């Protein structure tokens, strides 16, 4: 239930975006993939996949730009809670995440209205592995919620 429509919608967006991308950008992605496989002795393994930074960035940008759902990750409030802006959530109410406004917030994403396939690859500075890993498609954060966030963040995202 959780794996099929999400992966299908995502792959469809990816095919459309690849089809309308300039040929040289597609070529850069392909060249990086070939170089990564080459660096692993010609073997398409997990290490090689970890070096597909441009493809990873493209997929992450697809998630940011299109967002998969208008509202999701809904939760039923069982016990009264007060969130950081003072809003009281009474028991019985339902709360959910809205990815589109967050993923279009220029505070987090300058030129948010522009589809930039290499937005996240450019954020990898190479200074620190930990910092770079935070730019990857599978990293959960409060400003990228395509896979949800927290304890119930999508466990299938690595697949």
* Interface positions with ligand HEM (CB under 6 A): 2-3, 6-7, 10, 68, 72-73, 146-148, 152-157, 159
d(CA 32, CA 144): 25
Give min distance, CB of 15 to ligand HEM, in A: 13
Quote the tokens at residue 147: 């896979």
CB of 38 to ligand HEM, least distance (A): 27
In the complex, least distance from residue 28 CB atom to ligand HEM, rounded to whole angstroms: 22
> In this structure, what token pair is assigned to residue 156?
């299938």
- Six token digits for residue 22: 């300039």
Q: What is the DSSP code (8-state) at residue 112?
A: T
Measure Cα distances from 149 to 44, 47, 106 in Å. Answer: 30, 25, 20
Beta bridge partners of 72: 97
Do residues 98 and 118 lie in contact, with contact meaning Cβ atoms separated by under 8 Å?
no
CA dihedral 142, 145, 151, 155 (to 10 degrees): -140
Between residues 72 and 132, which has the closer beta carbon with respect to ligand HEM? Answer: 72
Residue (48 or 146) nearer to ligand HEM, CB: 146
Least Cβ distance, residue 129 to ligand HEM (angstroms): 24
Q: Pick between residue 101 and residue 155 the one whose CB is nearest to ligand HEM.
A: 155
CB of 110 to ligand HEM, least distance (A): 24
Closer CB to ligand HEM, residue 2 or residue 82?
Answer: 2
Q: Which residue is nearest to ligand HEM (CB)?
A: 156
């Amino acid at each position: 239930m959780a794996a099929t429509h999400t992966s299908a919608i995502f792959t469809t967006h990816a095919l459309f975006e690849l089809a309308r991308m300039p040929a040289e950008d597609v070529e850069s992605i392909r060249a990086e993939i070939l170089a990564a496989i080459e660096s692993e002795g010609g073997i398409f393994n997990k290490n090689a996949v970890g070096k597909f930074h441009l493809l990873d960035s493209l997929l992450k940008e697809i998630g940011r730009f299109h967002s998969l759902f208008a509202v999701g990750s809904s939760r039923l409030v069982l016990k009264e809670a007060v969130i950081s802006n003072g809003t009281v959530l009474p028991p019985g109410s339902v709360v959910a995440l809205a990815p589109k406004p967050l993923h279009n917030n220029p505070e987090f994403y300058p030129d948010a209205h522009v589809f930039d396939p290499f937005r996240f690859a450019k954020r990898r500075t190479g200074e620190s592995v930990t910092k770079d890993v935070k730019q990857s498609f599978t990293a959960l954060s409060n400003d990228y919620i395509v896979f949800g966030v927290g304890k119930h963040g999508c466990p299938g995202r690595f697949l």
